[in-house]
Structure 1
């Protein structure tokens, strides 16, 4: 009997995902009724985006798991009607995209590319940029994305420190954790990359207090979550020169409001939440693998820890 798989996301996502999901199901040998309209009591799996109209999971009494299309789960993890397993998206395509975007911006800051672009009337001066081993890069967050970014930067020769809330071990990376570890990590951070989830414990982790631990003239790259940064504290640190420049891809409100001071600050680069996007083909394979696991009685992968919030 075919599985009933509900696609619960906005219509534009269905257009993008329908064919890759059907192809992945066929490749896995799974017979399924994949649709955006299935009676709640008949649904076996829910492929889900948190901005979907579906917010009450109570009627889905037969469903075995909710398979999130996004890496972020902060807007669904606290839903009290959701009693079944919730899997977040860990997509190889998204991970590769994040690695490439972060690496590009780290190299931009490391090499001083912005300042090396001359106007015709500028003074012609030679300088010797530092090599990667002379540059300290700190990654806040050592989940799948942070680990992949850190390993790539180590491969390029950078001196990389990683920080996480709980102890982690990654080959070639000095891994710190906890409050004291955060202070130590930031004290090294000539370039800081924020790849933490949005949880009550990580909100405003970049504050006036933590910014003060960073070296004078450091750089910040945030492709993680907007609430990680206290906006006013960052603006003050940019104004004082404590932070030389910040590249921000995520914000508390998106699109970034037209009157937000980030737009007018020459020391801020704003990008429109493009650092990493879930790729329909690779994400569909991840989702279908979890459906296969559920039907085979194997453990689901990428399960969310409700207590931790990710």
Structure 2
């Protein structure tokens, strides 16, 4: 009961907060990207937290989703809502293609294989200029503001769409974690050999989680494209700003937990923007240096993520009651 009250309170705050910000201001944009990256980290958390496979290639699925919806709108006038579904299908296919030969890899071998796949997609998008625009990039065409066309005058609707996406992805994560697939994944995480002995098809289960994660990541790429309006291959297929960033958000918040990616995004995105706002006019790279120092300090303080803060508080409260 207490958990549901806490969830309802968080959702209430999340629904009211966008209304307190200027609909065309800087911080509503920061809030929108915070919610979006929290959803992206949650999608990564399905494979990284539940399947225990550290993927560094999720930018490939993200970029596929962004380009698919935008190209369908540009060339055929198809609504981004439908383009999002098409991008999700292509993202799932891409996830399956890369997962089949790599799912038996473990640790850094799997991470490097997925990182290489993401870089290959970035190179292809840069070279295939007649379709993607290459390094010049691509712009989302303007259409008259309307919900069915996924076009709005202000950022406020985008913030609520990102919030809805976060809720949906988190619900999918929880359904998997609490369901039969979640039990299988925990068994595989603890001892893959023992899981095989008791009849769990470890490869099949990991493939399923990879495809689900890839589909969600690609669909979130459409949301990013509609907010950013302009992007290029080095933006949406970028390993550092997408793949590594979403993994860092999930790990810093508490990997394998539903609240972890949300906590990580609430810290990383606003603090990074604040550092850029305060120190970008100083020496070159100063804002990134200060942000890096803050990250190192936080990781040293809570190496298992922000979720441990809540665990510690819960333990103290339980001890006080006793």
Say yes or no: TM over 0.5.
no
With the length of structure 2 as denominator, give the TM-score of the two structures: 0.21
The TM-score normalised by the length of structure 1 is: 0.22
The structure that is helix-richer by fraction is 2
Name the structure, 1 or 2, with higher relative contact order (CA <8 Å, separation 6+). Answer: 2
Larger gyration radius, structure 1 or structure 2: 1
